[in-house]
Amino acid sequence: MHPVLKDLIGLLRLERIEENIFRGDSRDIGSPQVFGGQVVGQALSAAQNTVEGRVAHSLHGYFLRRGDVNSPIIYEVDRSRDGGSFSNRRVVAIQHGRPILNLAASFQTPEEGLLHQAEMPDVPGPDGLKELTEVAKDMLEFIPSKMRRLLTDKRPFEFRHVEPLNFEAPEKLPPKKHVWIRAVDSLPDNPVLHQNLLTYASDFELLRTAILPHGLPFMRGSVIMASLDHALWFHSEAKMDEWLLYAMDSPASSGARGLARGQIFSQDGRLIASTAQEGLMRVVDPDKRKPRSKPGTQN
pLDDT of residue 188 exceeding 80, the answer is: yes
Q: What phi and psi, each to the nearest 5 degrees, are found at residue 213?
A: -70, -10
Q: What phi and psi, each to the nearest 5 degrees, are found at residue 248?
A: -120, 150
277 is an active site residue: yes
Q: Which of 33, 38, 106, 227 is catalytic?
A: 227
Domains of the chain: 3-110+125-288 (2.40.160.210)
Q: How confident is the model at residue 194 (pLDDT cuts 50, 70, 90)?
A: very high
What pLDDT was estimated at residue 140?
Answer: 58
102 torsion bin: left (phi>0), alpha (psi -120 to 50), beta (else): beta
Q: What phi and psi, each to the nearest 5 degrees, are found at residue 267?
A: -65, -25
Spell out the long-range contacts of 172-175 with Cβ–Cβ below 8 A and sequence spacing 24 or more. Answer: 172/212, 172/213, 172/214, 172/215, 173/212, 173/213, 173/215, 174/212, 174/213, 175/209, 175/210, 175/212, 175/213, 175/249, 175/250, 175/251
Q: Which of 203, 229, 241, 249 is catalytic?
A: 203
127 is an active site residue: no
181 beta partners = 159, 244
H-helix or E-strand spanning residue 147? helix 145-152
What pLDDT was estimated at residue 154?
Answer: 73
Percentage of the chain surpassing pLDDT 70?
86
48 is an active site residue: no
pTM: 0.89
What number is the average pLDDT over the span 245-254? Answer: 97
| Averaged pLDDT of the chain | 89
pLDDT of residue 93 exceeding 90, the answer is: yes
Q: Which of 26, 38, 195, 277 is catalytic?
A: 277
pLDDT by residue (tens digit) across 206-223? 999 999 999 876 566 678
